[in-house]
């Protein structure tokens, strides 16, 4: 499996390290042409406004909508979650607008800008340590969206078919199970394509 990490800004190297640890090849994606060679894409944390601006500048918006239309898996972590959402609280403009979720940026406020918590995640057997950094929350999900994890009754991970999103940073611990989960999604989507 060759999994790309969008490398315009943010936590790129850490994701590549985790992908390699989980048995896939991680590739930094800087140009739209590179999307043809990958089986899935992680959009990392960072600053969603900055990444969104660079995505527009480097023609990633249309290219990633086409990538997603082919059911190629996309995993948005933290700022990446904001970038794939169809709705952002208090903002009329969205970025990729792919996943049927409504998100609130910096949802934990100033007092709890960064913290860690053990999270139960559907599909992963033991708790995953979630690192939250000025994290967004998913405040509403559409019908086709499955909630994978909550923290204090608030949604911090969800999946809609080939789209995966987490409020936290799964690349900042030594635990690569979230990456393994995503690699499995990419493997399944690839075998679905080759069978049809
Ligand atoms: N607060 C950032 C944003 O709104 C996201 C933070 C992160 O990715 N760690 O873009």
- What digits encode the pLDDT tens for the residues 98-151? 999 999 999 987 767 899 999 999 999 999 999 999 999 999 999 999 999 999
pLDDT at 56 over 90: yes
| Strand pairing category for 40-43 and 74-77 | parallel
Q: Which of 178, 165, 152, 183 is nearest to 40 (CA)?
A: 183
The answer to whether 171 is a known catalytic residue is: yes
**Structural domains for the chain:** 2-195 (3.40.50.880)
In this prediction the pTM is 0.96
- Give the span between the Cα atoms of 160 and 52, in whole angstroms: 21
Among 15, 169, 176, 179, the one annotated catalytic: 169
Residue 148's Cβ-count burial label (10 Å; 0-12, 13-18, 19+) is: buried
Active-site residue identified among 15, 95, 162, 171: 171
Region 16-22: mean pLDDT is 98
Q: Give the per-residue pLDDT at 111.
A: 62
pLDDT score for 120 = 98
Active site residue 78: yes
Confidence class for position 171, pLDDT limits 50, 70, 90: very high
pLDDT of residue 103: 98
């Amino acid at each position: 499996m060759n999994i790309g990490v969008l490398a315009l800004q943010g936590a790129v190297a850490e994701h590549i390290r985790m992908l390699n640890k989980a048995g896939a090849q991680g590739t930094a994606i800087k140009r739209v042409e590179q999307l043809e060679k990958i089986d899935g894409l992680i959009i990392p944390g960072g600053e969603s406004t900055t990444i969104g601006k660079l995505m527009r500048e480097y023609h990633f918006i249309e290219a990633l909508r086409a990538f997603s239309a082919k059911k190629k898996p996309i995993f948005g972590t933290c700022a990446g979650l904001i970038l794939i959402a169809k709705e952002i609280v208090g903002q009329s403009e969205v970025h990729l607008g792919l996943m049927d979720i409504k998100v609130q940026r910096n949802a934990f406020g100033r007092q709890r800008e960064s913290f860690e918590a053990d999270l139960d995640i559907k599909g992963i057997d033991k708790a995953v340590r979630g690192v939250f950094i000025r994290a967004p929350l998913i405040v509403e999900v559409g019908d086709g969206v499955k909630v994978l994890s909550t923290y204090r009754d608030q949604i911090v991970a969800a999946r809609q078919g080939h789209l995966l999103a987490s409020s936290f940073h799964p690349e900042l611990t030594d635990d690569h199970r979230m990456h393994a989960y995503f690699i499995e999604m990419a493997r399944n989507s690839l075998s679905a394509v080759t069978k049809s």
